[in-house]
């Protein structure tokens, strides 16, 4: 699919961006793989990796707020993966304008640049926090989803297809709970917001593979949602830091007790496709004669996909296996489940 193609990824120096580039370089031979980001230092660090010195790699400095620069970067591009965003919930509450400019206007600019260059397909990364949002970050991601889906209306005969991938928390990504617990473990105490809290979790590699599958499968206008396991915050803390004391600090402003990937309000257009769901566009203003029933069955009215009512759960043994892989990649070492961590059965 990607051999000989030109791919651009916004936010290419982030956790997902680097994992995406690594996977593509190991499994495909693209003509150009363009990292588009605004941080020259992160780009220089990325280029120190021999893998990222491949001759197909391009490093394009630019901000998604800059439409002119973004349009220039997309000349001749076949596929766009839009992963750039500001995502820290507390920072969004204190700096709303910055999040609006980047996450909403920046996403609109990605769509405009893709349309101007007749890009074949563009996929945007979204989050469970975009569903019935209660914080500004989630609200900006909901607007970004809407802007991306609606862009299918403007592509004309040379139709650029736009779709969205929506999934849960990425295990081990920058700013996530696992690195926080690992840091707190050194002091002997971890902070728990609420012992009842549940979350959807996905690994970086799973996220990359799902985005690529969505690029291949998209007809235009869908929201792709993988079927993910849930995990309680207590199970996560007990595996990462079993010998530490735990301090309950309460939910932070803008934080939910449980997360939702598909709300009841969207159930009438949700298709169960086996390992993932598709939310078909509710109001396709473009010529839309696609039939998603060939991919799966229509879910019953009233269906919802929430972290607390999930049928799949991460066991402590599965969390420990993932954690060892994560630590091996980060530090080159693993941990014993007998000394540092609980024994899992």
Active-site residues, by number, are: 129
**Taken in order 71, 89, 163, 218, is the CA torsion positive or negative?**
positive
Tokens of 30: 């693209």
C-alpha 240/C-alpha 232 separation (Å) is 13
Cβ–Cβ under 8 Å, residues 88 and 137: yes
How many helices (DSSP H) and strands (DSSP E) are in the chain?
11, 17
- Residue 298: C-alpha distances to residues 228, 231, 232, 269, 288 (Å): 19, 27, 29, 7, 17
Rounded to 5 degrees, what are φ and ψ at 223? Answer: -110, 120
Site of tokens 């996403």: 107
- In 3D, which of 84, 55, 73, 62 has the Cα closest to residue 112? 73
């Amino acid at each position: 699919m990607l051999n000989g193609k030109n791919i651009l990824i916004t936010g290419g120096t982030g956790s997902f961006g680097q994992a995406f580039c690594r996977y593509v370089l190991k499994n495909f031979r693209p003509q150009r793989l363009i990292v588009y980001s605004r941080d020259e230092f992160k780009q220089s660090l990325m280029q120190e990796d021999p893998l990222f010195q491949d001759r197909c790699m391009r490093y394009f400095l630019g901000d998604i707020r800059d439409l002119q620069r973004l349009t220039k970067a997309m000349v001749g591009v076949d596929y766009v993966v839009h992963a750039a965003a500001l995502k820290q919930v507390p920072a969004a509450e204190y700096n709303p304008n910055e999040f609006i400019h980047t996450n909403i206007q920046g996403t609109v600019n990605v769509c405009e640049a893709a349309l101007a260059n007749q890009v074949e397909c563009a996929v945007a990364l979204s989050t469970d926090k975009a569903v019935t949002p209660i914080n500004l970050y989630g609200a900006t991601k909901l607007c970004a989803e809407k802007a991306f889906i609606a862009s299918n209306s403007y592509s004309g005969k040379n139709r650029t297809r736009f779709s969205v991938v929506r999934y849960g928390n990425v295990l081990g990504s920058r700013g996530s709970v696992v690195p926080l617990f690992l840091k707190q473990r050194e002091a002997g105490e971890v902070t728990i917001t609420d012992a009842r809290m549940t979350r959807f979790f996905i690994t970086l590699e799973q996220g990359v593979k799902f985005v690529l599958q969505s690029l291949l499968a998209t007809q235009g206008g869908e929201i792709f949602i993988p079927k993910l396991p849930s995990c309680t915050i207590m199970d996560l803390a007990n595996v990462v830091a079993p010998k530490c004391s735990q301090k309950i600090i309460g939910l932070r402003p803008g934080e939910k007790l449980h997360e939702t990937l598909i709300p009841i309000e969207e159930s009438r257009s949700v298709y169960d496709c086996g390992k993932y769901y598709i939310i078909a566009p509710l109001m396709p203003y473009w010529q839309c004669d696609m039939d998603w029933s060939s991919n799966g069955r229509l879910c019953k009215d009233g269906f919802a996909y929430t972290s607390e009512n999930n049928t799949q759960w991460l066991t402590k043994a599965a969390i420990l296996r993932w954690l060892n892989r994560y630590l091996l990649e980060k530090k080159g070492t693993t941990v014993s489940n007998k000394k540092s961590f609980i024994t899992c059965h």
